[in-house]
Amino acid sequence: MLNEKDILLISIKDFFTATMLKYSLLPFVISLIVMYILFFYVAGVGLDQLGTLSIHSSETTIQNGIPHTDSFSTQLEGNAIIQFLMNYTITSWIASFLIYAIGSFFVLYLSIFIAVIIIGFLTPVILKEIKNKHYKNVELIGHSNFIAGILNIVRWAFVMVLLFFMLIPLYFIPIVNIIAFNLPLYYFFHKMLNYDISSNICTDEEDKQIRYFSKSKLRLKTLWLYLVSLIPFAIFFGAIFYVIYIGHTYFLEVEKIRKLDKYSDAI
């Protein structure tokens, strides 16, 4: 039985093969294209939402005992609003900080979300390669279908969004907010990665057994893989490795379950 160190080393070795490296380019290229399109779409919508900004100011002075009021009125549109804000040090600093902070946060999380969806389409091919190389005696049975997969994605995405809103009060607590920010997406990441792999390898009953007896082990594995994903662009190149690494874990567990079943039948 392979230990965790052996599984990791085999997974790394499998990843650095010509076939797997070729597959690893697909999440990177597709994710960049999708994010490039979304960036310009969101930027355009953002400027449209800014619309127009009307600025009014008035100043009253007294000359020879008679009050005089001077009024100033102008209207800014689109890019002019940004230019207006950038003309002042305070507003410039605040605007720049918000743009970079929110933008970086959004891009990082979006990249993880998109990459997880993309690798779902590559998982069957990758698992077949691993099976032919290491687990020829393990049959790829699977226990799901396209409609069930779509329904699961929608359900987990809904729970993820719900968690984002439920945890809003924690976002303002230092340190705790780091966990609160990442918990919803980790939930989706964990569910998707395990489902993509288990639904291609094992039966529904085998999946239940693995999730019951190896629940903690799988969570620890997906947790450290998720933490690696927080490194910018790591998810683009490492997504295939995630499937290989967790795939080895499921193959070994299924192999063990089926050997026990054969032994029980023999008795």
pLDDT of residue 183: 93
> What pLDDT band is residue 81 in, cutting at 50, 70 and 90?
very low
* DSSP conformational letter for 61: E
Angstrom distance (rounded) from CA 130 to CA 126: 6
CA angle 251, 255, 260 (to 5 degrees): 155
Token look-up 């990249």 returns 111
Instruction: Work out the percent of the chain whose per-residue pLDDT is above 70.
Output: 70
Cα–Cα distance measured from residue 72 to residue 58, given in angstroms and rounded to the nearest whole number:
6
**pLDDT on residue 56:** 46
Q: What angle do CA 67, 72, 75 make, to 5 degrees?
A: 160
pLDDT in tens, 92-151: 455 555 555 555 666 667 777 777 787 888 899 999 999 999 999 999 998 888 888 899
246's CB contacts (< 8 A; 6+ apart) are: 193, 194, 197, 218, 221, 222, 225
pLDDT at 107: 66
pLDDT exceeds cutoff 70 at 194: yes
**Is-contact 145 124, C-beta < 8 A?**
no
List C-alpha distances in Å: 137 to 131, 147, 190.
Answer: 8, 29, 27
What pLDDT sits at residue 175?
87
Computed on alpha carbons and rounded to an integer, the radius of gyration of the chain in Å comes to 26
If you average pLDDT over residues 82-90, what whole number do you get? 51
Tell me: the pLDDT tens digits for 205-253? 999 999 988 989 999 999 999 999 888 777 777 888 999 999 999 999 9
